[in-house]
Amino acid sequence: MTASKSHRRRIHFIIAVLFALTATWWLPAADRLILRTPAPNTPLENPQDFLVETLGEAQPRRVDIRLNGKLVRARRSAPFQFSINWNPEFQNTIEIVAHFSDGTVEKIERTYEPPRVDVTTEVRAFEIWPFLNKPLGDQQPFVTFAGQRFEPQKVVSAATTPLDLVIVLDISGSMRDLLPGMTAPMKTFIEHQLKAGHQVRLIVFDGEPRLLNLDAVRGLSSLETLFRGQSKSVVWDSLATASGMFSQSTRRLILLISDAMDDGSRHDRNTAATFIRSAGTSLVWFNATGKIFGKMTRLTRRTGGFELSLQERPWQVLQQRLDNQIQLIVPEVSFPLTLNGLAGRVWYPRWQTP
């Protein structure tokens, strides 16, 4: 009887291990297909460049691009980059079709509307999403740009807009011992965002970034299960990838959980910063080891984000600042700008060039 029970326990253990491994498989190819260029909210051109990238090891054997239902280009190997002649003054629909070796066909479709301009007065709305360490209350912020004061058209709590959140988790060798302790608080944080109606995606990286099935990860007993034994860390590549994962919401955030040490990225810090800025997202860095890394700290500040440390109850601090975040729309301004009229600490984008 004792031997039989021991045998059953071993079988149950093997089943649990197999479930944990298979639960973290990558998502289907459709969720790994990214239209990198043109970035959202960027001016359209003629000809227009389109760049398609994929996450993970599986690469399409062919990628087609269709303009308004008509096949105009196809490529059989990366980079899947196309230059298309079109008229951006009219509505256009682009369809990207990726053919994979296993027979699956995945698609991305984007419809681009013509620019809408008031023929009487063209006023460009400039939108930022500052983080506050205190509630807005009855404060009346204003913006200084080019030596002039500008009153916002709109100042409201960000809670009225769903958050589009991409979590970028480092699972390289230097992070292995820290993953078990992060499991419970990160899962609690994710559940809170989902209950609030926000959108959450999870990218993990070691030697390459991978988009994971969020439901499978929520069922893990420990994030250490994700560790694959690789010591390489591609931080900048992963941030560039995360910048292309956002949907339509303009309230965007990348949460990087890492020691920020990079030793294998194709992209550098400046390229990653360009992608982040084009996506219009803030970057918050959860400094998992507490070591000083000035390049990442400066990048978070430029994006309007901030750095979190283990010593300051990071998950609670992040949630508090998300709760206090505001949406601010001001006409006819650009970077660099100064945000005034708010008490306490404020985090907002500090890009230095228009």
What would the pLDDT profile of 137-165 be if each residue is shown by its tens digit? 999 999 999 899 999 999 999 998 999 99
Q: Where are the domains of the chain?
A: 29-112, 159-326
pLDDT the model gives residue 102: 87
Instruction: State the residue for tokens 């984008």.
Output: 349
Maximum separation of any 2 CA atoms in the chain, in Å:
88
The CATH number of domain 29-112, selected from 1.10.1060.10, 3.30.300.30, 1.10.3470.10, 2.60.40.10: 2.60.40.10
Class of the CATH domain delimited by 159-326: alpha beta
Paired tokens of 204: 């993990």
Segment (H or E) for 101: none
Maximum average pLDDT range among 102-111, 175-184, 298-307: 298-307
User: Cis before residue 336, ω within 30 degrees of 0?
Assistant: yes
Amino acid (1-letter code) at residue 137: G
pTM of the predicted model as reported, rounded to 2 decimal places: 0.69
Q: In this predicted structure, what is the pLDDT of residue 124? A: 58
Token pair belonging to 40: 């959202």
